[in-house]
Amino acid sequence: MTTLMSLFSAERIKWRRNWATVAAILGPASLVGFLFLIFWNSEIQASKLGPGFLVWYQVVYSAWNLIFMPITVALVCLLSWGEEEEAGAWKHLLLQPVPRQFHYLAKCMSHATLLLIAQLVLALLVLLTSLLISKYLLYLDMGPRRLWLFSGLGATSLIASLPLVALHTWLATRLRGVGSNLTVALVGSLLTVVLAGLRMPVMWSPWALAASGVRVVFVSEPGKVGLFALACGLVIAFVALGTFDFSRREEQR
Amino acid sequence: MTLAIQSDGLSRRFGKLPAVEGLDLRVPEGTITAFLGPNGAGKTTTIRLLLGLLKPTSGTCEVLGHRPGEVEALRQLGAMVESPSLYGHLTGFENVEITRLMRGGARSETDRVLEVVGLTRDAHRVVQQYSLGMRQRLAMALALFGSPRLLVLDEPTNGLDPSGIQEIRELIRQVPKQTGATVFLSSHILAEVEQVASNLVVIHRGVLRYQGPTGDLGDQGVPWQQIRVDQADRALAQLRERGLEVKYEEPYVLVQTPDEGVPALAALLVNSGLALHELTPRRVSLETRFLALLEGA
């Protein structure tokens, strides 16, 4: 455990001045900024759909879970492994007196923490913008902002993002280039949208799980337990697969 | 003699292509051993096999008494393979700190290795701003972290200017003196190798061609002495009369005689009335001996 925490500390040093950290912050910031501009400049009569705060939370978290989060996860993982590849830092990493599985697990922890940062940035921006909306866009009828609902959305989004982190941490060691990694993220999201509501295996995918993050907040307790169990199962499966693949391969890249 | 590296029949193929075949390496501890071979000879493949970055197709290998890639072996070795493995967006200090966290060790060790390679003043600059020489020195600092028993360096002077090469050479020369570590060094620059390495390993087309002391490579028995005199014809005749093996390579008369026979040789020439301008042992450069070895292969 000490070794793993030391490796994680080493990973935290790598966050400084690097693009993976920038992606983790810019991903949620660009989404909230984009949606806020649309709200600000439109005459959406959200109050007809429901309380303004609810619409705002649902719109942001739906877009985040379905599209922006998979893209952000793919970018964070790709950029993080990319810096190891750049200038051959791989070799130095693999020559340290640490079992290779620990390197991989430390990377998983690093990516999950960066996603936690992204979720916190998102939550902070959603709260700030909801204050602006309630003050200036009176027609949205913000009503009382229910923190339990907001924290529920954040928590399910975080849990739903973990299988994606586990999957992309592994995929980024196998697929080269931004294009292929983003394609996987987008195809996963699109399939989820196209096949929504169907009882097909793809609906058990990490993307579908992420997409259902918002819906689950409003359903009964078993739905939440199901999301949590499925997320745990997928995380364990992808981490185990990635660790096995990473440790048995010869020199990486 | 304790061996830092020992391999028996070490082989590695990539598909059907053999990169290294049946290497029986013996690298004594505490030496600077140069690993030589032309491009594509299998040097980097061998180094990767020794470090556990590649697995052998057949054969066995031990590094400091352990299998390559074992945590215990990695704990006792420092390595620099090909280009420096550095995070460009971090400072030199941060790069060493990452190594410290992975290897374990006191914070003072970070300062020590930065001082050893002369980077204390530039430690807090981002590596992207470093010159190539500074990057090589930082990579050396990472390899030297924790005073390893074995230092494996693959082309450590690649791309450096003469002063950079000299700095790295001095660093390499100091390592065994200060820590008793073994240095296994692959290089293309034979003149450099000749100055620092006490032992050589030469491979060609993946096959071991020579291993042993540097001076013994291409040993041709009795050494040659080169003489420059005012009358070369007379000198040649005099020396032949004495039954010595001689030949003429303008402007030198070459005589095959042991170094101990040089005073007698000088006396003979002077007593014969010849004006002796020069009498020096003819040293065949490592490059010449290395090329001769490859030609013979």
Interval A204-242: pLDDT, tens? 788 887 777 776 666 655 667 777 888 899 999 999 999
Please tell me which of the candidates A7, A17, A86 has its beta carbon nearest to residue B102.
A7
Q: How far, CA to CA in Å, does A27 sit from each of A19, A64, A127, A176?
A: 12, 9, 17, 21
In angstroms, rounded to a whole number, what is the distance separating the alpha carbons of residues B121 and B126? 12
The pTM score is 0.81
Of A169-173, A183-187, A204-208, B97-101, the poorest mean pLDDT is in A204-208
Q: What is the pLDDT of residues B46-77, one digit of tens each?
A: 999 999 989 999 999 999 999 998 889 999 99
Residue A31 to residue B12: CA distance in whole angstroms: 51
Interface contact A89-B103, CB threshold 8 A: no
Q: Chain B interface, mutation test: which of A96, A247, A251, most B Cβ atoms within 10 Å?
A: A96
- CA distance linking residue A89 with residue A116, whole number of Å: 26
SS3 content of chain A, % helix, strand, coil (to 5): 85, 0, 15
Residues of chain B with pLDDT under 50: none
| A13/B104 CB distance under 8 A | no
Kindly determine whether residue B104 and residue A6, on different chains, have CB atoms separated by under 8 Å: yes
Provide the domain limits for residue A7.
Answer: 2-248
The domains of chain B are located at 3-215, 224-287
The dihedral formed by the CA atoms of B73, B35, A248 and B9, expressed in degrees to the nearest 10? -90
Q: How far is CA A156 from CA A149, A152, A195, A224, in A?
A: 11, 6, 21, 8
| B150-154 and B77-80 beta bridge pairing | parallel
CATH architecture for segment(s) B224-287: 2-Layer Sandwich (3.30)
Q: Let me know: does B46 contact B10? Beta carbons within 8 Å.
A: yes
Residue A253 lies in a domain: no
Residues of B whose CB is below 8 A from A93: 85, 102
Of the residues B87, B113, B124, the best mutation for testing chain A's interface (the one with the most A CB atoms within 10 Å of its CB) is B87
- A63 lies within 8 A of chain B by CB: no
Distance from CA of B101 to the nearest CA of A (A): 5
Mean pLDDT of chain A: 82
**Which of B57, B63, B76 lies closest to B5, judged by CA?**
B63
User: Quick check: helix, strand or coil at residue B148?
Assistant: coil
Chain B CB within 8 Å of residue A22 CB: no
**CATH number 3.30.870.10 is the correct assignment for the domain at B3-215:** no
Average the pLDDT over A73-79 and give the result: 93
Pick among B70, B102, B113, B152 to test the A interface (most A CBs inside 10 A): B102
Q: Among A83, A91, A94, select the one facing B87 at the smallest CB separation.
A: A83
Q: Say if the Cβ atoms of B86 and A16 lie within 8 Å.
A: no
Q: Is residue A21 scored above 80 in pLDDT?
A: yes
In a domain, A241, yes or no: yes
Reading the block at residue B149, the tokens are 């028993």
Tokens (6 digits) for A214: 């918002």
Closest B-chain CA to A91? B85
For residue range A81-121, what is the model confidence (pLDDT) as tens digits?
A: 988 887 677 778 888 999 889 999 999 999 999 999 999 99
Q: Which residues contact B218 (CB under 8 A, 6 or more apart)?
A: B284, B288, B289, B290, B292, B293
Question: Among all chains, which residue has been given the structure tokens 């799980």?
Answer: A209
CB A157 within 8 A of CB A43: no
pLDDT in the model for residue B124? 94
Nearest-angstrom CA–CA distance, A217 and A6: 36
pLDDT at residue A252, rounded to an integer: 45
Residue A44: which pLDDT band, with cuts at 50, 70 and 90? low
A253 has a pLDDT exceeding 70? no
- CB pair distance less than 8 Å for A89 and B51: no
What pLDDT shows up at residue A219?
62
Share of chain A above pLDDT 70, in %: 80
Binary contact (A250, B72; C-beta < 8 A): no
- The number of domains in chain A is 1
User: How many CB atoms neighbour CB B152 within 10 A?
Assistant: 26
The answer to whether position A94 is within a domain reads: yes
